[in-house]
Chain A
Amino acid sequence: MALLNRIYTDQEQMLDEVIHLGEEIVASSNLENLRENANLNGESFSGKMSKFGSEYAKWYANHFVMPMHLVQAIQDNIVYVHDLDQYAIGTTNCIFIPFDKLLAGGFNTGNGSVRPPNSIMTAMALVAIIFQSQQNAQYGGVSANKLDHDLAPYVNKSFAKYFRKGLGYFEEGDETADLGDITMGRSDLQEQYPRTYKYALRETESETLQGAESLIHNLNTMSSRAGGQIPFTSINYGTCTSPEGQLVIQSLLKATMRGLGSGETPIFPIQIFKCKQGVNQEQGDPNYHLFLMAAECSAKRLYPNFANLDAPLNLQYYDPTDPDTEFATMGCRTRVLSDRFGRNHLSGKGNLSFNTINLVKLGLEHGIALGRRTKADERGFYRELKHYMDIAADGLLHRFKIQSRQKAKASDFMMREGVWEGGEELAPDDQVGELLKHGSLSIGFIGLAECMKAMYGKHHGEDEEVYRKAYELISYMRQYCDEQSERHKLNITLFATPAEGLSGKFTKRDRTVYGKVPEVVDREYYTNSFHIPVYYSLSASKKIELEAPFHDLCNAGAISYIELDGNARNNPAAFINIVKYALSKQVSYFSINHPIDRCTSCGYEGIIGATCPSCGKHENEVHIRRLRRVTGYLTGDYQTRFNAAKQAEVRDRVKHGV
């Protein structure tokens, strides 16, 4: 094959590169590379096997697939192509799964067909199987955007089954009598058949809780993803107000609070509680008690996070009669609600791919930090930004073409079963492009804070004028995405990139060029998206107020965090007030980070310094498991699973509420 990218011409050098790829993986000699993804154990056999595939796939995409200017932009360290290993074969990123449809109609995993479930226990088990089947048809996250609504009918089926059984047991009536729809909310049944109703309710509650526990266990234990990874699952819930839906929510929260086998905090699924005024936000709202329970669970287990259905960018698509129009998110923050082709709902589509811009390097080149000038060269900055955004957008379009010509059978389960809406109508050899156009292509960014610092000497948390500049910059990027959407008739959106593997990569290479630039390139990472730096001390309310307006601009998704120091479990009022404040300021997706340490000797969970407050053992004698969050996902123990840049970022986080 002829070399497509003439940047590389030396065949011998290419061979060296390929040989080197394998050597590093076999010898586990490049830990940074192996820990690129906190959920993949790159030192395990299956992790290494998957690394062999992905490293070569990246190398291949670089040399033979990507447009030359994109490769150049990557080399320039200004554009980053996420999941490059999936570029050449045209895999898509993530999806919201229509569980209601799949459960109601049954489905086929490829190895066998599955009938619609007749109980909540079975339905919960099938949710795990669907997640697992779908995971292998794509490379990113799988999310349930309305699991409470999706599962309520199966709670009802269980209840009706127990109720009919009870009529016979307690001799309160005829098991075969026509009682209409037997539901938990029917007070007439409760009055007429009190013992039967009580029995059916108790059995249903216990079955739903067991189902929820098994779902959470399954989602933490099935290493079915390549490289021994667990599927990146997210579940959203909180707005279903039927007694059956409420029971689903309550059971999921209870099971999460109980934790896994030995009481440890579940890493998956990411859970998101959907907050909606009039549904669950104030005393008197039908699901307010569940919001409080969600806060309790989050204070104990870091999940759920909180999605804001009332934020203007989410509210505009909200139809109270259709839960599929309620904003929900991938745990990592990816948002796909609107569609220029009319599918303004969530399930059945997802993000296709995204490229991220390194704002810091552009800031360094055109700002004052390097001492090249005394006043930032804004014209030069915007000129170059536009140039690289053009390349990033072009790269997305190029990749979209590859994705579009893939056959339905390549993504198998996703198309055959209609997980991607309309896929079920395609023949195995049909190309998928017409359907994929409903998904989103996103341009992300990283390091707004360091960019501002490099340009003007201050970041957007330090100075009002700089804040205005920062807001203008992100507004410009959003406007650019909107224009590209019009031009190419696609959904092109702006993303506050969740920068896990990326947080140190850009920085490391920039440092080799510029050296240590004080407060710009002096740490091991760049600050996530538009966040105020984690090392900058300011009040929680101020951080929320400063970050909130950016959420409205990032239509591909964003998250804001508050770091809380101290045992969040012990101060519900503080926790709830902060969440409510963030929602009131129109933050679209929010979460509170707080330390959860676990003594592996006695099982105590809370904050553990050098010694466990419960059993008194020192961290030198027992392992203290320290659970932290990275880009939305929890990860087992940050000291062994995080890459160096992320470990540094965790160390630097300024806490509120010391």
Chain B
Amino acid sequence: MNICGYYPESINEGEGLRAAIFISGCRHRCKGCFSPATWNFKYGEPFTEQRQDEIISDIKNNPLLSGVSLLGGDPFFSADEVSAFIDRMRAEAGPVPIWIYTGYTFEELLARPDSPEYHLLGRCQVLVDGKFIENLRDPALLYRGSSNQRIIRIQESLAAQKVIDWEPMYSF
């Protein structure tokens, strides 16, 4: 698995200051995608154990982080490897809350229990779902690109078997 971007502190990909990791590879091919280069699974750098350790150490040593955001590409196309990374990270850095971005919808992921994608979903706290739809693009939206995309509280939604929207801790 390759990663094609890493920001140790970002305010643009989820609530609070977050470490953002971009996983290479995506087959959704949304029209108007802001980074089509990242569709390629070979794009970026190999996510080696050493690179993982560096990033995990950053996360562990940054008391200001609210958590980690996983984006892409689409991390769900590398679900097993991403899950393995999450487990590794949490063993080292504790229960880090995770936001994860995907072109799939919550319902699509829910429909395939026991799949690697479903297990990845179950490890995370907040899902930003759905393809980017160019004519629904709205730069005023928080943490997402087009208005069809939703921000979902994963654990609550899994328990209720329906979408429960995420709500901000503070709102301006």
Contact = CB atoms under 8 A, between A and B. Distances in A.
Interface of A: 292, 295-296, 299-300, 539-542, 564-574, 576-578, 581, 613-614, 656-658
A71 B66 CA distance: 53
A300 B172 CA distance: 9
A292 B170 contact: yes
A657 B168 contact: no
B145 to A, nearest CB: 12
B172 A572 contact: yes
- Please indicate which of the listed interface residues B9, B10, B168 has the most CB atoms of chain A within 10 Å of its own CB: B9
11 contacts: A295-B172, A539-B62, A542-B62, A570-B142, A572-B171, A573-B15, A573-B66, A574-B15, A576-B170, A578-B64, A656-B17
Given A541-B62, A541-B63, A574 B168 contact: no
B172 A581 contact: no
A299 B9 contact: no
Given A565-B11, A572-B171, A573-B169, 11 more contacts: A539-B9, A539-B64, A541-B64, A567-B11, A570-B142, A571-B12, A578-B64, A581-B63, A581-B64, A614-B139, A657-B9
B170 A299 contact: no
Nearest to B17: A574
B16 A577 contact: yes
A588 B163 CA distance: 44
A578 B168 contact: no
Nearest to B12: A566
Nearest to A300: B172
Contacts of B172: 295-296, 299-300, 569, 572
Contacts of A300: 172
Nearest to B8: A539
A91 to B, nearest CB: 42
Contacts of B170: 292, 295, 572-573, 576
B66 A656 contact: no
B1 to A, nearest CB: 22
Contacts of B9: 539-540, 656-658
B57 to A, nearest CB: 12
A572 B16 CA distance: 7
A506 B40 CA distance: 51
Nearest to A299: B172
Interface in B145-171: 168-171
Nearest to A657: B11
A572 B12 CA distance: 11
Contact of B11 (A295, A539, A566): A566
B64 A573 contact: no
Nearest to A613: B139
Contacts of B169: 572-573
Contacts of A581: 63-64
Interface string B1-23: 00000011111100111000000
B10 A566 contact: yes
A172 B39 CA distance: 72
A658 B10 contact: yes
Contacts of A295: 170, 172
Query: Closest 7 interchain pairs by CB?
Result: A657-B11, A572-B170, A541-B64, A296-B172, A573-B16, A571-B11, A566-B11
B21 to A, nearest CB: 13
A300 B7 CA distance: 24
Contact of A658 (B7, B15, B143, B171): B7
Contacts of A578: 17, 64
Interface string B113-155: 0000000000000000000000000010011000000000000
B144 to A, nearest CB: 11
B142 to A, nearest CB: 5
Contacts of A657: 7, 9-12, 17
A573 B170 CA distance: 6
Nearest to B11: A657
A571 B64 CA distance: 14
Contacts of A568: 11
Given A541-B64, A566-B12, A614-B139, A573 B7 contact: no
B169 to A, nearest CB: 5
B16 A574 contact: yes
A613 B138 CA distance: 9
A574 B15 CA distance: 7
Contact of A571 (B16, B62, B63): B16
A220 B168 CA distance: 35
Contacts of B62: 539, 541-542
Nearest to B142: A570
Contacts of B7: 657-658
Contacts of A567: 11-12
Contacts of A571: 11-12, 15-16
Nearest to A572: B170
A273 B117 CA distance: 47
Nearest to A576: B170
A581 B62 CA distance: 12
Contacts of B66: 573-574, 577
Contacts of A574: 11, 15-17, 66
Contacts of A572: 168-172
B17 A577 contact: yes
Nearest to B169: A573
A302 to B, nearest CB: 14
A542 to B, nearest CB: 8
A571 B11 CA distance: 6
A292 B171 CA distance: 9
Nearest to A537: B8
Contacts of B171: 572
A572 B142 CA distance: 11
A348 B42 CA distance: 67
A165 B78 CA distance: 71
A481 to B, nearest CB: 33
Interface string B85-106: 0000000000000000000000
Nearest to A565: B11
A658 B19 CA distance: 10
Contacts of B58: 539
A53 B39 CA distance: 64
Interface in B59-82: 62-64, 66
B106 to A, nearest CB: 23
- Please indicate which of the listed interface residues B16, B139, B143 has the most CB atoms of chain A within 10 Å of its own CB: B16
Contacts of B142: 570
A528 B141 CA distance: 37
B126 to A, nearest CB: 12
Nearest to B170: A572
A371 B171 CA distance: 55
B32 to A, nearest CB: 14
A656 B58 CA distance: 14
A577 B16 CA distance: 7
A300 B64 CA distance: 21
Contacts of B8: 539
